[in-house]
Amino acid sequence: MNSNKTKNGPPSETNNYSGPPGMDVGGTIESDWNEVVDNFDEMNLKEELLRGIYAYGYEKPTAIQQRAILPCIKGHDVIAQAQYGTGKTMVIALGYFMKVDCHACIGGTKIRDDMRKLNTGSHVVVGTLGRVYDMIARKSLRTQFIKIFVLNEVNEMLSQDFERKYQIKEVFKFLEKDIQVIKLSSTIREDVLNVSTHFMRKSIRILVQNEELILKDIKQFYINVTKEECKFDTLCDLFDTLSFTQAVIFCNTHRKVEWLAENMHLKTLIIVSAMHKGMSQRRCKLIMRQFNSGASRVLITTDYFARSNYCSVSMVINYNLPSNRENYIYRVKRRYSGRNSHH
Please tell me the predicted confidence (pLDDT) of residue 25.
46
Q: What are phi and psi of 5, to 5 degrees?
A: -110, 135
- Say if residue 268's pLDDT is above 80: yes
Are 313 and 335 a contacting pair, CB within 8 Å? yes
Q: What CA–CA distance (Å, rounded) separates 214 from 216? A: 6
- Per the rule left: phi > 0, alpha: psi between -120 and 50, beta: everything else, 57 is left
Q: What CA–CA distance (Å, rounded) separates 330 from 337? A: 10
**Band of the pLDDT at 270, cuts 50, 70, 90?**
very high
Task: Give me the architecture of the 29-208 domain, per CATH.
Answer: 3-Layer(aba) Sandwich (3.40)
20-40 burial: b if 16+ Cβ within 10 Å, else e: beebbbbbebebebeebbbbb
Hey, which CATH number is domain 229-332, 3.40.50.10490, 3.40.50.300, 3.40.50.720, 3.10.20.30?
3.40.50.300
pLDDT digits (tens, 9 = 90+) for 158-198: 766 677 788 888 899 999 988 999 888 877 777 777 776 77
Rounded mean pLDDT, 122-143: 92
208 vs 83, 176, 199, 320, CA distance in Å?
A: 8, 30, 21, 29
324 vs 110, 135, 187, 247, 303, CA distance in Å?
A: 34, 32, 12, 22, 11
> Which segment of 72-76, 141-145, 158-162, 248-252 scores lowest on mean pLDDT?
158-162
Domain locations along the chain: 29-208, 229-332
Q: Which residues are bridge partners to 250 per DSSP?
A: 301, 318
Rounded mean pLDDT, 142-146: 91
Q: What CA–CA distance (Å, rounded) separates 40 from 58? A: 9
Residue 163: alpha-carbon gap to chain centroid = 21
Please tell me the predicted confidence (pLDDT) of residue 343.
62
The answer for residues whose C-beta is within 8 angstroms of residue 234's C-beta and 6 or more apart is 223, 225
- Catalogue the long-range contacts made by 5-14 (C-beta closer than 8 Å, 24 or more residues apart): 5/35, 5/36, 5/37, 5/42, 6/34, 6/35, 6/36, 7/34, 7/35, 8/34, 9/34, 9/36, 10/34
Rounded mean pLDDT, 217-231: 87
Domains 29-208 and 229-332 share a fold: yes
pLDDT digits (tens, 9 = 90+) for 28-71: 778 888 889 989 999 888 888 888 888 877 888 888 888 888 88
Q: Which residues are bridge partners to 219 per DSSP?
A: 340
**What is the DSSP-derived secondary structure letter of residue 42?**
G
